[in-house]
Amino acid sequence: MGQSMDTVPLRNAIFGRRSVRAFSPDRIDALTLRALLAAAVRAPTAMHGEPWQFVIVQNPELLKHLSQRAIEGLAADAARLGAGRDILSQPGFNVFYDAGSLIVICAKSDGQFAQADCWLAAQNLMLTAYAMGLGSCVIGMAVPMLNLPGVKLELGIPPESTAVVPIIVGKPRSESWPAARHEPQIVAWR
């Protein structure tokens, strides 16, 4: 699926990667998922801790169920969401944007740098997905739901682990356009 990651220069991947929110419902094949995870675990890690664990969800009914649980949890805290609460009330809204594959990066410890290491792994995974012709998007609004004890049990996340980065991955349904970015804010250069 997609093209070889060796065909896209790193700069193109960094500047071309987008948060995709419209996917074909097809699942990613196991070989592609393993390539994404192989790239993820090549991320820098503090003290060689490698605190990451991965949960892959591709069951369409389970993805819908998890989306509904996330929406219910977010609706209970709608005041904090501000303008984001409007999307929750749209009929048929799915927090995973109908993607066929969800990869949850979990921290197996609460060490000082465990979450940072998981985010570094996420960046490797998303850049590799882009290089393979796939889209990806971090779904931060799903994190509270993914850390509920019952959901962790349902997904096989050990009780002592923490879901840190849920990423949807799949074939984009359409072209994604770049988001505006500010120039780097340099607060000191001495």
- Give the per-residue pLDDT at 181: 87
- Give the per-residue pLDDT at 109: 84
Tokens of 116: 């940072």
With respect to residue 115, please indicate whether it lies within any of the assigned structural domains. Answer: yes
- Between CA 118 and CA 139 the distance in angstroms is 14
- Give the per-residue pLDDT at 76: 74
Output the domain CATH number for residue 162: 3.40.109.10
Task: Report CA-CA distances (Å) from 63 to 100, 122, 189.
Answer: 8, 20, 47
Residues facing residue 170 across a β-bridge: 135
With respect to residue 157, please indicate whether it lies within any of the assigned structural domains. Answer: yes
| The pTM of the whole model exceeds 0.75 | yes
- Give the per-residue pLDDT at 10: 85
With respect to residue 179, please indicate whether it lies within any of the assigned structural domains. Answer: no
- Give the per-residue pLDDT at 137: 96
- Give the per-residue pLDDT at 175: 80
Domain count, the chain: 1
- Between CA 16 and CA 8 the distance in angstroms is 10
With respect to residue 189, please indicate whether it lies within any of the assigned structural domains. Answer: no
- Give the per-residue pLDDT at 44: 95
- The conformation of residue 26, written as its DSSP 8-state character, comes to P
- Give the per-residue pLDDT at 7: 58
- Give the per-residue pLDDT at 110: 83
With respect to residue 180, please indicate whether it lies within any of the assigned structural domains. Answer: no
With respect to residue 97, please indicate whether it lies within any of the assigned structural domains. Answer: yes
Report the DSSP pairing between strands 135-138 and 52-57. unpaired
With respect to residue 55, please indicate whether it lies within any of the assigned structural domains. Answer: yes
Q: What is the pLDDT along the chain (190 residues), one digit of tens a residue?
A: 555 555 568 888 888 899 999 998 788 999 999 999 999 999 999 988 999 999 999 999 999 999 999 998 887 776 666 656 667 777 889 999 999 999 999 999 888 999 999 999 999 999 999 999 999 999 999 999 999 999 999 999 999 999 999 999 999 998 877 778 899 999 999 9
The range of the structural domain enclosing residue 120 comes to 5-170
